[in-house]
Amino acid sequence: MASTDVKVIGAAPSPFVNRVQIALNLKSVDYEFLEEKMGSKSELLLKSNPVHKKIPVMIHGGKPICESLIIVQYIDEAWTDGPSILPSDPYARAMARFWAAYVDDKFYPTFRAFGSAEGEEAKAVAREQLMEAIMLLEDAFAKCGKGKDFFGGDTIGYLDIAIGCFLGWMRAVEKMSDIKLIDETKTPGLFGWAKRFGSNAAVKDVLPKTETLVEIAKMMAAKAKAQ
Amino acid sequence: MADDLKVFRTWSSPFALRIIWALQLKGLEYETIFEDLSQKSPLLLQYNPTYKKVPVLVHNGKPISESLVILEYIEETWNQNPLLPEDPYERAKARFWAKFVDEKLLQSVIDVLVTEGNKQEEAVPRAKENLKYIEEELKGNKFFGGATIGFTDIALGWTARWLPIIEEVTGIKLIEADTFPRISEWMQNFCDVPVIKANWPPYDKMVTKVQGTREKCLAPKGTN
C-alpha cells in the first residue's frame, strides 16, 4: 500500500498522537507524518477535524478519523493481518476499553492538574489524586495483564498504548518536580511494564526523549508567564 | 448455559436506558436492580468500585461499567441485530459521534438547565452549536444507523425525551423545527421505535426531577 495512503496529522510531543503512531507501527503500516506547528492549526487539520480542531487526525484513503482511541480501534479493524491490538475475548476487550476511558477521563486530567498546580496546598492535593490514579492503574495492570509482560498479555495492546503514551511526559514531570510517579517498590508492576513498553520496537522511536519534553515544558511555562 | 444478565440502574438514568435498549433490541432477558444512589448497595460498590455509578451490566457474574463500554460489549457478545456497521470507517464515525454526545453535547445541554441570566444566555448558543453538528451529520438518514437505530442513535437517544423536558423546565426552545428539521424528525422516528417507546421513565416524574436539579443548582450557597 502506498505510504501516502495513510497520513497522520499531529505533533511529535503529543501523547495522543503517539498512540496513533505506535498502533500503526504495530501493524507495520507506513504513513506520512504531517507535523503541526505549535501555536497554529493547519488548513488540513481544520478541514479534517472541524468539530474539535485537534490532533491527532488520521487520514486513510482521503477519509479522516479523529479521537486517538477511536483511531487506534480503527487501525486494529482496518488492518487485520498483523498483531491484534484489542484482545479477542469480549470481556477482556471491555476491561481494556474501560481502563482506557479511565485514563482519558480521570488519569490524564489529574496528571495535567498536577503539572499546573500552583502553591503548596494545591500541589499536595493534586499529587495525592495523581498517586491514587496511578495506584488504580497498578491494580489494573495486575487484573488485565494477569502476570504477563503487558496489559494486553504477551504483546502490547490497546491499554498499553492508552497508558504508555504518557510515559515520556511522566518522566519529564518526575525530573522537573523531583517526584517518583512510577516507583519500583510502590508500583512494581508498572515499573517493569514501563521499561518493557518503552523499549518495544513499535514504541522506542515514537516516545519523545525526556530532555526534549522538559525543554518544551520550560518553554511553555515561560510563554505562559510572558502573557 | 443460559446467560445470567443483571442491570444495575436507577429509574431515571439516561445512561442506563442505553443498556436497556440494547439488551431489548437484541432480544436478551435480564434482571433489573434499581439503585438508590443516596444509599448505594454493597453489590454496586463491589461491581463498580472505580466510579460507584450506574449503569453496570453483570454477565455471568462479571461486571462491566461505563455505558458506551457496555454497549460495545453487548454488541460483541451477541451478534443479532447489529448496532454497529461492519465497515471500519463507519464504525469509527459511529464511535466518534457517540463520544461527541457524552463529552460535548451533554455538558452543554446541562449548562443550559442549571444556569440563569447571563450565564444561561451564553450557554444556549453553545448547546445549539453542538446540536448543529448532529443536525448536519444526520444527512437525510432516518437514523444514524440507517433504516434502523444503531450505536449513535442509542447514545443520542436521551435527547429525544430530555431535551423537550429541559425546554419545558427552562422555557428555552433548543430544537426549533425550522432550524433543526432533521433532529426534529429523528426524535419523532426514534420515539416511535417500540423498544424506545416502552421504556421511557414516567414523564411527570422526570419533569419533577429535572426541575429539582435546576433548583438545586441555582439555590444560593449556604441554603439547605
Whether residue B77 lies within 8 A of chain A, CB to CB, comes out as yes
The sign of the CA dihedral A88, A94, A100, A103 is negative
| Mean pLDDT value across chain A | 95
Q: Please name the residues in contact with B161: beta carbons below 8 A apart, sequence gap of 6 or more.
A: B14, B191, B200, B206
Chain A residues within 8 A of B88 when measuring between CB atoms: 74, 77-78
CB A59, CB A111: distance < 8 Å: no
Judged against a pLDDT cut of 90, whether residue B115 lies above it is answered with: yes
**Which of B65, B77, B96 comes nearest A98 by C-beta?**
B65
β-bridge mates for residue B177, sequence order: none
Location of C-alpha cell 502476570: A147
Q: Say whether B92 and A65 touch across the interface (CB within 8 A).
A: yes
Give the gap in angstroms from C-alpha B8 to the nearest C-alpha of chain A.
17
Residue of A nearest to B77 (CA): A90
State mean pLDDT over B128-147.
94
What is the interface size between A and B, counted as CB pairs within 8 Å? 55
Closest to A9 in 3D by CA, of A40, A42, A39, A38: A42
Q: What span, in angstroms and rounded, lies between the C-alpha atoms of B165 and B161? A: 7
pLDDT tens profile A14-29: 999 999 999 999 999 9
| Residue B2 clears pLDDT 90, i.e. is over it | no
Which B residues 160-219 touch A at CB under 8 Å?
none
A90: pLDDT confidence band, cut at 50, 70 and 90?
Answer: very high
Q: What is the mean pLDDT of residues B177-194?
A: 97
Read off the pLDDT of each residue in B58-66 and give the average, rounded to a whole number: 98
Largest CA distance in chain B: 58
A78/B88 Cβ within 8 A: yes
Is the pLDDT assigned to residue A3 strictly greater than 60? no
Check residue A153 and report its DSSP letter. Answer: B
Q: Are A165 and A16 in contact (CB under 8 A)?
A: yes
pLDDT at A84 over 70: yes
On the question of pLDDT at B224 being above 60, the answer is no
Would you say B83 and B27 are in contact if contact means Cβ atoms under 8 Å apart? no
User: Which residues from B are below 8 Å from A65, CB to CB?
Assistant: 89, 92, 96
CB contact at 8 A, A172 and A221: no
| Rounded Cα gap, residues A73 and B84, in angstroms | 13
On average, the pLDDT of chain B sits at 96
Average pLDDT over residues B63-70: 98
Query: CA Rg, chain A, in Å?
Result: 18
Grid coordinates representing B91 are 464504525
Kindly state the helix (H) or strand (E) to which residue A113 belongs, with its residue range. helix A108-116
Q: B106 exposed, middle or buried (CB, 10 Å; 0-12, 13-18, 19+)?
A: buried
Contacts of A67 in chain B (CB under 8 A): 95-96, 99
CB interface of B with A, residues 94-153, below 8 Å: 95-96, 99-100, 104, 133
Contact A97 B72 (CB under 8 A): yes
Q: Do A90 and B77 touch (CB under 8 A)?
A: yes
- Residue B57 touches partner A, C-beta closer than 8 Å: no
Residue A178, pLDDT score: 84
Average pLDDT in the B5-10 region? 98
Residues from chain A contacting residue B95 (CB–CB below 8 Å): 67, 70, 73
What ipTM does the predicted assembly reach? 0.95
Under the banding of pLDDT at 50, 70 and 90, the label for residue A4 is: low
The answer to whether B73 contacts A71, with C-beta atoms less than 8 Å apart, is no
What's the predicted TM-score (pTM) here? Answer: 0.96
- Chain B environment of A74 (Cβ under 8 Å): 88-89, 91-92
Alpha helices in chain B (DSSP H): 14-25, 42-47, 67-77, 88-100, 106-113, 117-138, 151-156, 158-170, 181-192, 194-197, 203-218
Q: Which residues of B touch A98 (CB under 8 A)?
A: 64-66, 69
Contacts of A51 in chain B (CB under 8 A): 100, 104, 133
Q: Report the residue from A66, A67, A97 with minimal CB separation from B69.
A: A97
**pLDDT band of A2, cuts 50, 70, 90:** very low
Residue A123, pLDDT above cutoff 70: yes
pLDDT > 70 in chain B, percent: 98
Tell me, what's the pLDDT at A1? 46
pLDDT at A116: 87
Which residues of chain B lie closer than 8 angstroms to A97, CB-CB? 66, 69, 72
Taking the C-alpha atoms of residue B88 and residue B85, their distance in angstroms, rounded to an integer, is 8
Residue B138 scores a pLDDT above 70: yes
Facing A67 at nearest CB: one of B70, B72, B96: B96
Does B61 lie at the interface with A, CB-CB under 8 angstroms? no
**Is the pLDDT score of A10 beyond 80?**
yes
| CA atoms within 13 Å, Cβ hemisphere of B87 | 6
How, if at all, do strands A63-66 and B5-9 pair? unpaired
CB contact under 8 A, B96 and A66: yes
Average pLDDT of the residues in A121-138: 96
**DSSP assigned state of A55:** S
Q: Which of A63, A66, A94 lies at the smallest CB-CB distance from B72?
A: A94
Average pLDDT over residues B162-190: 97
**pLDDT tens per residue across span A132-155:** 999 999 999 999 999 999 999 999
Partner residues linked to A65 by β-bridges: A58
- CB-count burial class (<10 Å; 0-12, 13-18, 19+) for A124: exposed
Cβ-based neighbour number of residue A181 at 10 Å:
23
Q: Between A93, A101, A102, which is nearest B76 by CB?
A: A93
A38 pLDDT tier (thresholds 50, 70, 90) = confident
Give the pLDDT mean for B151-166. Answer: 98
pLDDT of residue A221: 85
